[in-house]
Amino acid sequence: MKLDKTKVYRLTRQVPAGRVTTYGALAKAAGNPKATRGIGMLMHVNPDAPRTPCHRVVMSNGKVGGYGSKKGVSQKIERLKAEGVNVINGKVVNFDRKLFTEFEIETD
């Protein structure tokens, strides 16, 4: 099943400031739970950052993961910290409390 990038970006925009989600949670919400790598690729080429807050998408273990900006991961961490998400040693502090998975799923 192919990912609908428009749907993925709409889902990503649901993640509020101060929270994070995972590549896997986005894949599941988009209807393709095995497409975590595809989600990562879409975040990397996000044409609408920061309106579509790809910096709020992290790995399932709370590690920050990659970031496609010129400053790379350091900019992702700066953006997260500015929103109240603490990151220590590349990992989101209190990950379980910061995790957002309450997506409003679109029905076709």
Q: How far is CA 18 from CA 8, 34, 70, 83, in A?
A: 20, 26, 23, 5
Cα angle value 20/4/96 (rounded, 5°): 15
Q: Among this protein's residues, is 54 annotated catalytic?
A: yes
Of the candidates 42, 54, 59, 85, the residue annotated as catalytic is: 54
Q: Which residues are marked as active site?
A: 54
